[in-house]
Amino acid sequence: MTDLTTKYLGLVLKNPIIVGSCGLTGSAKTVRELAEAQVGAVVLKSLYEEQIEAELKHNMNEYQTDYPDAYDYIKQYTRDSAVSEYLEMIGEVKKSTDIPVIASLNCVSSAEWTAFAKRIEKAGADALEINISLLPSDPRKSCHDYEKIYFDVLDKVTDGLSIPVSLKMSSYSSSLANLVSRLCWTGKVNGFVLFNRYYRPDIDINRMELTSAGVFSDPVEISTPLRWIALLSGMVDCDLAGSTGVHDSEGAIKMLLAGASAVQVVSALYKGGARHATEIIAGIRTWMEKNSFSSLDEFRGRLSYKLGDDQSAFERIQFMKHYAGIS
Ligand SMILES: Cc1cc2nc3c(=O)[nH]c(=O)nc-3n(C[C@H](O)[C@H](O)[C@H](O)COP(=O)(O)O)c2cc1C
C-alpha cells in the first residue's frame, strides 16, 4: 500500500496536494469539484483587506453627506456584509465536502483582524492562512519596519484563536531565514507557505505603457520556493508548503524531497482543470511505487539542506563552480 497522507498545520491530509487560494476555491461548487478530484485540502479565495476598505469607501461616499447619522451604521454594515458572504461560503464548503478547508485573509496592516479571524473559526474553517502582501519598496522604511508588520498581524489575528495558522510569505524579505525562524519561535504560527506570487508588471514598448505580465506562473518559477523549502526545512519547527511553479507531479515530488509537508497548486489547475490535480496525485503515487516508497516520510526532505549530501548546492560556492567554465 502506498500511503500519501501528510500532516500539515496539525491537519491530516489524504495527500499533499492543496489547491492554493484563488478563484477556483471561491465557491462551494468549485471546491466540491476539487474535492471530487481527490485533492488533499483547499485554501479558500482570500478575503482582502482592500476589498472591505473599497466597499466601505463606496458606501461611505453614498451615505456620508446625505445621512451623516448613518455613517457608523453603514461602516459596520459594509464590513459585516463582506465578511458575512465569506463566512457563508465557509459554512457551505464545510457542509458539502470532507476535506480540510483553510480560510485565507489577505492583509497589509494589522487593523481589526482579530474579530474577523474568530468569526472565520466559528464558521468552521479548519485553519487560517494569512497572506501579508508586502512589497518593501518604501526607502524610508527599514527591514525592521516591514518585518514588524508580520508580528503585529500575527498577534492580532491569533489573539484568542484556536485553529492553526499559516503565513503565506513574500520572497521579498531581507533575512528570510531569520524572519521565518523568529516568527516560528512566537509559537503563534504552525506553518509557512513559500511563496506568494505577486502581480507582475511588464512594459509594452510599442504603446509605451505599463502592462501586466502573465497572471499564471511558469514551471521554471519553482526554483525560488524549492531553494527556500530546502534551506528552511529542518531549520524551523513549523510545516512548510511549497507554492509557485508546481505544474505537475515532478514539481510536487521535488518540493517533498526538499522537505515540504504539502504542495500548493493554482496555475496548473486553471490550465488543466480539477482533473489535473488527480493526475498530479496519481503521478506522485506512481513515482513512489517505482522507488519502493510506501509513505511520504520515507523520502521527505531527503534533498533538503540539512539532510542532503551536497549542501553547497544551495550556496554561493555552487554558482562559482557552475559558471566557471563559461566564458
Ligand atoms: C487567478 C488567481 C487568483 C488568485 N487569488 C489569490 C487569493 O485570493 N489569495 C492568495 O493568497 N493568493 C491568490 N493567488 C495566488 C495563488 O494562491 C498562488 O500563490 C500563485 O498563483 C502561485 O502558485 P502557482 O504557481 O501554483 O500558480 C491567485 C492566483 C491566481 C492565478
Per-residue HEC secondary structure of 253-321 comes to: HHHHHHCCCEEEECHHHHHHCHHHHHHHHHHHHHHHHHCCCCEHHHCCCCCCCCCCCCHHHHCHHHHHH
pLDDT(53) > 70: no
Nearest Cα residue to atom 28 of ligand 1: 22
Kindly state if the Cβ of 266 falls inside 6 Å of ligand 1.
yes
Average pLDDT, the chain: 90
Which residues touch 130 (CB under 8 Å, ≥6 apart)? Answer: 104, 105, 107, 153, 154, 157, 165, 166, 167, 168
Helix (H, G, I), strand (E, B) or coil at 209: strand
Which of the four pLDDT bands, split at 50, 70 and 90, describes residue 73? low
Q: What are phi and psi of 23, to 5 degrees?
A: -60, -25
pTM, 2 dp: 0.91
User: Does residue 10 surpass a pLDDT of 70?
Assistant: yes
Atom 10 of ligand 1: nearest residue by CA position = 21
Question: What is the pLDDT, as a whole number, of residue 248?
Answer: 98
Instruction: Compute the distance between CA of residue 217 and CA of residue 66 in angstroms, rounded to an integer.
Output: 47
Taking only the tens place, the pLDDT of each residue in 281-294 is 999 999 999 999 99
pLDDT of residue 68: 55
pLDDT at 62 over 70: no
As a whole number of angstroms, the distance between CA 214 and CA 172 comes to: 19
Give the architecture (CATH level 2) of 6-323. Answer: Alpha-Beta Barrel (3.20)
Closest ligand 1 atom to Cα of 221: 25
The average pLDDT across 6-20 equals 98
Spell out the domain ranges in the chain: 6-323
Report how far ligand 1's centroid is from the alpha carbon of 19 (Å): 9
6 lines ligand 1 (CB under 6 A): no
Compute the average pLDDT of residues 125-153: 93
Q: Is the CB of 168 under 6 A from ligand 1?
A: yes
Cα-Cα end-to-end distance for the chain: 51
Asked if 161 and 105 count as a contact pair (C-beta separation under 8 A), the reply is no
- Determine the distance separating the centroid of ligand 1 and the alpha carbon of 20, expressed in angstroms: 6
Which protein residue's CA is at the shortest distance from atom 3 of ligand 1? 22
pLDDT at 63 over 70: no
Q: Is 59 in the pocket of ligand 1 (CB under 6 A)?
A: no
